[in-house]
Amino acid sequence: MMPDNEDAVRVPHGNLPEDAAPASAGPVGTEDTAASRLLAEKDAELASTIDRLKRLQAEFENYRKRSARDIAALRERVADDEICSFLPLFDGLERAFSVYGETKDAAEFVAGVEKIFGQFHQILEQKGLKRICTVGERFDPEFHEALVSLPSDQEKNTVIEELSPGYARAGRTLQPSKVAVSQGPDAEEKEES
């Protein structure tokens, strides 16, 4: 314990006079200046990196928003093109119903609808739509949807009846054909016995 001496100088911890500094520490402030300079350089580098990241993030957000707008605009143009390709059919049907309402000539009405159906078929072909072949083909779940399996003299898993047509475009099935599939000749014989 230290004696209570009012003349004693009290030095707060860590604030030693210069002559109390260790001999190997070198001149006071030299290390602090180098460390301060290095710290300032690193702070500047960090600030520059953060600024660059913020700019990149803002650019990416702008790109994302611009892409979303472009995709929405493209969808609108595609929808407009599709609608325009079917407008002649709509107009034709409208004329056919109008003429039928005036004349009540069923034969003329049917002839008009057949022409419209031909136009419709042509438009779908121009867009690359193909009807999926079914009857006599081997059942393929990529193109067919089996609704029923029936005894038949056909080989097992052969499509024996098309219940609803299927369509494909550019190698992708848009709507599978709904079909009846053969159980095979053995199933027919088992049912008879």
Between 109 and 61, whose confidence is greater? 61
The residue from 109, 127, 145 where one domain ends is 127
Tell the burial category of 131 from Cβ atoms under 10 Å away from its Cβ (0-12, 13-18, 19+): middle
Q: Please state, in angstroms and rounded to a whole number, the distance separating the CA atoms of residues 129 and 146.
A: 22
pLDDT of 145: 94
Q: Among 127, 143, 161, identify where a domain stops.
A: 127
Is residue 35 domain-shared with residue 102, that is, in the same domain?
yes
pLDDT > 90 fraction of the chain, expressed in percent and rounded: 57
- How many whole angstroms separate alpha carbon 52 and alpha carbon 22? 44
Do residues 118 and 33 share a domain?
Answer: yes
- Asked if residue 142 and residue 117 are part of one domain, the reply reads no
Whether residue 53 is found in the same domain as residue 137: no
Q: Are residues 35 and 116 in the same domain?
A: yes
Q: Could you tell me if 75 and 142 lie in one domain?
A: no
C-alpha span between 183 and 149 (Å, rounded): 6
Find the CATH number of the domain harbouring 182.
2.30.22.10
Q: Do 30 and 120 reside in the same domain of the chain?
A: yes
**Whether residue 120 sits in one domain with residue 44:** yes
Residue 58 belongs to what domain range? 26-127
Query: Does residue 192 lie within any of the structural domains?
Result: yes
More confident residue, 181 or 19: 181
- Residue 190 is predicted with a pLDDT of 58
Distance CA 44, CA 96 (A): 78
Same domain for 166 and 112: no
Q: Would you tell me the crossing angle of helices 30-103 and 106-126 to the nearest 10 degrees? A: 160
pTM for the complete prediction?
0.57
44 and 109 in a single domain? The answer is yes
- Considering the domain architecture, whether residues 43 and 121 belong to the same structural domain is answered as yes
